A and B are shown apart, each in its own frame.
Chain A
Amino acid sequence: MRQEALKVSPSSQPSMTKKQSKYDEYKRRRKILLKSQAYIVGLISLLALWSIWGTGFNLLSLVFGTYEILVFIFTDMFPPDLSVIGSLISPALDTLYMSYVGMVISVLVSLILGVLAANNLSPHWIVARVSRSVTAFLRSVPAVVWAIILVSGIGLGPLTGTIAIGLSGIGILGKAYAEVLESIDENQLEGVRATGANWFQVIGQAVWPQFKAGFVSWSLYKLDMNIREAAILGLVGAGGLGYYLQGSINLFQYKEAATAILMIFALILLVEYMTAKIRERII
């Protein structure tokens, strides 16, 4: 009897307590997880409250303001003065040129910086760091600031806007390209590398096919964004529709300004439609 009891206990009872302690462990870990999630949610809420206080965000002013805004739009801006459309075509084209050439500049430079910054392709980690820092710097300076700096050197006009857009675009595309490149499948590169292919051949034959979709997507997205940016750059004298917009607002010609705004809207829709079509074709 005693021997039986002894036999039973090591097999059944310890396993029960083992199970119990495993469950406790599970509960303990779960509690830690929930606690850290609660901290994160709390932190985000605090930051939101702080920002609301800091910006003086007030729903009431939005409600009352809406009336004033509508009055302004309907009395001062409506109907848009469509007779100025003829004189808007050339500034609209300027905006398009600035956006497109700006994109081409950022694509060309970002391709080089992106490859150098991607950890899996970079010839050396120091090169990757330097390239990352350059793109981060270009990204941290907004296009408007670039434009203000460039206006002092190059003067007013679309060239200033183009370079400003190009420079800030490098910051964004360089980072985006590097991230796409870092997510490509290393095994495919290895397969090509094992045939005796050199670095450029691996880039062309194994990296490019994987990179193409992300490359096209990001570049077209930047073109899309550039139209918006180009309109804002006009406000600091970098030419295009924004420049015209600012001029008419300064002269209180709000009906002309309304036409310019509609024109910007039309351009954005056009580019969006075209980039969507191109993306469909290529990807």
Chain B
Amino acid sequence: MATPVLDVKRLKTSFLTDDGPVTVVNEVDFHVHAGEVLGIVGESGCGKSVTSLSIMGLVPALTSKVEGEILYKGENLTQASDKRMRQIRGNDIAMIFQEPMTSLNPLFTIGSQLTEALRLHNKKLSKKEAAQQAIAALKKVGLARADELINEYPHQLSGGMRQRVMIAMAMICNPQILIADEPTTALDVTIQAQILELMKKLNEETNTAIMMITHDLGVVAELCQRVIVMYAGKIVEEGTVESIFNHPSHPYTIGLLRSVPDMRRKKDRLFSIPGNVPKPGSLKIGCQFAPRCSQAHEKCLKEKPELKALPNGQKVRCWLYEEEKEYIV
């Protein structure tokens, strides 16, 4: 296979607090190929968003520390200068966010926010050309009356429209990678489907790789080719969408899949994984998931499991797969 467009190696992001550094993302390894859609799944607080912000270099510089390697086309972004990062942001790696309602600046027109992105990376572009490209970008994401929209302000648009504008803004410089941080979470279900459809279309047309960060397994099934499941700052399972959905291996993944409501089956109560994601830095030893795991045994509480490849190519971080068959579900 070709070299991945983004290769993240042993990424470790910690925040400096009054009580010392707290590691939020720990030893995360993954890669994304050109044109691929990678899903990153996990509960709130498992480090998904911090992973993406680390790649963008947008974690607060003074109060955090990013270690490991983030190789974008072979260039290590953790070592890149501030200036180089600004060139990459928006132009090579773009990002869209969870909150379309607040992600656009309320005081600037849609047009000026779109052309701003363009002109930051292409200084020679005239205002007129930029405006034309902005209109084209808005049309591309399915916004009718684009030529009027560029003179309107965000508050005149609905949430779905704003997310389309955000996507247009992210895609306007033809980035190699689009990081989408829960882009559909704040939207109505029907709008969600439209936005996903749009992202799928853009991915096919432009060959832009997408990192889809979500807690919605439906989104993953719809859009992604490969999935990473994160728990408490670590990857606990990795594989293709088919293998993860058909043979979830890590008890956490199994739990996640079981907690998706099934329309065909009538159940009184929806399954939920007991407990909450541990506070970063609170669990020092053993498997991070062990306190919530129904199959945890003595070893899980004492030793940290490693990410291990299964025969089918899936990777899993669990002691159940290191020892005798008897533990396997």
The finding on whether chains A and B are genuine partners in a shared complex, rather than unrelated, reads: no
**B residues with CB within 8 A of A:** none
